[in-house]
Amino acid sequence: MSRTYRYLALAVTLGLSSACSILPQAEPADVYRLPAAHASQVTSASTVASWSLRLNKPLASDALNSPKIAVVPQGNLISNYKGARWSDPVPLLLRNRMLDAFQRDGRVPRLSADDSNLQADYELAGELQAFQSEYSADGLAVVIRYDARLVQGRSQRILASRRFEVRQPLRDTQVPAVVNGFGSASDQLMAQLVAWTLAQANQAQVQAKNQ
């Protein structure tokens, strides 16, 4: 190997080392799952629905359509907890929680998710307006706000809509306690959402038979 070639190779190596050293280092993050549903949320099935239901991932803004754990420290400022994130993007996290809630309830056995692209009698869709912790004069609270729509599968006609909002106050501001707060708030939301969906879909079935 010539002296010129050795100098050239050394220069390239040093250049690559310098370039690597100035690249931003990825911030290590603790990855959190949404806590499993509390045992009290599990119900025994009574009347089993004859219709099928497809659960769609909710639409969300860029601030919520990510694995970041969002926090509103004041006013309209939205930020996220450093060094922590969810195991999945928030819309997927919530869709999976819905699927689990309906499966645990047991009254709608014919379930599917939008990933499978299967046709169903009804679809549950909507927009996620808030999935964050918020500081206010009353302290810290987890806030989940979801605008739900029950849609007829074939016609895509909206049969019913409702805004759900849950606030879970927190005493501890540490991230693990905040994550547990999201779990409790999700339990409340799922109980309301399952009951509402069943009532609206059953009502739609009755109306269809009477037509």
Burial 153-178 (b: 16+ CB within 10 A, else e): beeeeebbeeebebbbebeeeebeeb
Is the Cβ–Cβ distance between 115 and 208 less than 8 Å? Answer: no
pLDDT of residue 23: 53
pLDDT of residue 39: 61
CA distance 144 to 94: 10
CA distance 185 to 190: 9
DSSP string, 107-166: S--SEEETTTT---SEEEEEEEEEEEEEEETTEEEEEEEEEEEEEETTT--EEEEEEEEE
pLDDT of residue 200: 97
- Domain spans in the chain, listed from the N-terminal domain onward: 28-210
CA distance 201 to 204: 5
- The CATH class that applies to domain 28-210 reads alpha beta
Burial of residue 101 (CB within 10 Å: 0-12, 13-18, 19+) is: buried
pLDDT of residue 5: 47
pLDDT of residue 47: 85
Mean per-residue pLDDT pooled into runs of 10, the chain (211 residues): 48 43 65 84 69 98 96 95 97 97 96 93 98 96 98 95 98 97 97 97 89 74
Write down how long the chain is. 211
pLDDT of residue 19: 43
